[in-house]
């Protein structure tokens, strides 16, 4: 489109469609048959493979690598700074650690609307082949997500955690930083993973525990009002029996 702004040394493949008001900075590379919808920003040195589809208002920062057949939905941000701060020894205010790494998104990945993937501190944040991210997913710096994973909306992965292949995470679940989750794991909705997880696990709850164990725990909680009422009756009965026993002891003495 004539309103698109194209920088220097940009390489555009065959049959590429660049719509209105897009910005491609210097040294960007776009593969064959890729479609870039209106108002997309692609930062300096970033590379997008063939047959991709980048919807409107996507921001792709500098030096990002995106593979073939990748779909990125509206409003997603790829390569924003990781949340890296340390206390300033002079005044204890948060001191920003420069985030100079990259994001690598392999082939056949789909990224939902308003999802954010932060660049690594030094190396790369990596999303492997075939993984699908829903809307409003947060991937922090230095995270590695394996092949063919599915992460539902409002899932959050904290910095430097690693997910194995074929992991499914339901909505509003989360993983704290620097953990490893084994392949073929299922994380149920609203689960908080706080420790390393072996392959093939099925987890739910806060903190995460085996799913069947959590179901039993939740069933027990639902019975608590009845159990508390019964406990109060038993406690009252014990007091009555103690009083009678005390009276009998007095009579015998």
Is 236 buried (19+), middle (13-18) or exposed (0-12) by CB count in 10 A?
exposed
Query: Do the bridges between strand 23-24 and strand 17-18 make them parallel or antiparallel, or are there none, so unpaired?
Result: unpaired
d(CA 158, CA 174): 8
With CA atoms as reference, report the closest residue to 162 among 191, 122, 127: 127
CB contact at 8 A, 188 and 207: no
With CA atoms as reference, report the closest residue to 143 among 160, 122, 123, 124: 160
Taken in order 198, 200, 206, 212, is the CA torsion positive or negative? negative
73 flagged as catalytic: no
d(CA 51, CA 150): 21
Q: Among residues 141, 178, 211, 246, which one is catalytic?
A: 141
Three-state DSSP class for 230?
helix
Indicate which residues carry an active-site annotation.
141
């Amino acid at each position: 489109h004539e309103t698109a702004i194209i920088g220097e040394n940009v390489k555009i493949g065959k049959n590429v469609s660049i719509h209105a008001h897009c910005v491609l900075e210097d040294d960007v590379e776009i593969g064959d048959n890729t479609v870039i919808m209106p108002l997309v920003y692609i930062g300096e040195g970033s590379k997008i493979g063939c047959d991709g589809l980048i919807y409107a208002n996507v921001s792709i920062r500098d030096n990002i690598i995106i593979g073939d057949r990748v779909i990125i939905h509206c409003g997603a941000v790829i390569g924003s700074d990781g949340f890296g701060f340390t206390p300033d020894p002079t005044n204890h205010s948060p001191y920003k650690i420069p985030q100079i790494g990259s994001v690598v998104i392999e082939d056949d990945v789909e990224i939902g609307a308003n999802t954010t993937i932060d660049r690594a501190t030094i190396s790369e944040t990596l999303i492997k082949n075939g993984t699908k991210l829903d809307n409003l997913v947060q991937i922090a710096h230095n995270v590695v997500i394996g092949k063919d994973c599915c992460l539902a909306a409002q899932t959050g992965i904290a910095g430097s955690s690693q997910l194995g292949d074929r992991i499914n995470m339901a909505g509003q679940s989360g993983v704290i930083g620097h953990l490893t989750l084994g392949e073929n794991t299922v994380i149920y909705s609203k689960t908080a993973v706080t420790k390393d997880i072996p392959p093939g696990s099925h987890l739910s709850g806060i903190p995460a525990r085996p799913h069947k164990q959590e179901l039993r725990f939740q069933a027990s909680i639902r019975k608590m009002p009845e159990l508390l009422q019964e406990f109060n009756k038993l406690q009252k009965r014990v007091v009555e029996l103690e009083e009678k026993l005390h009276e009998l002891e007095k009579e015998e003495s």
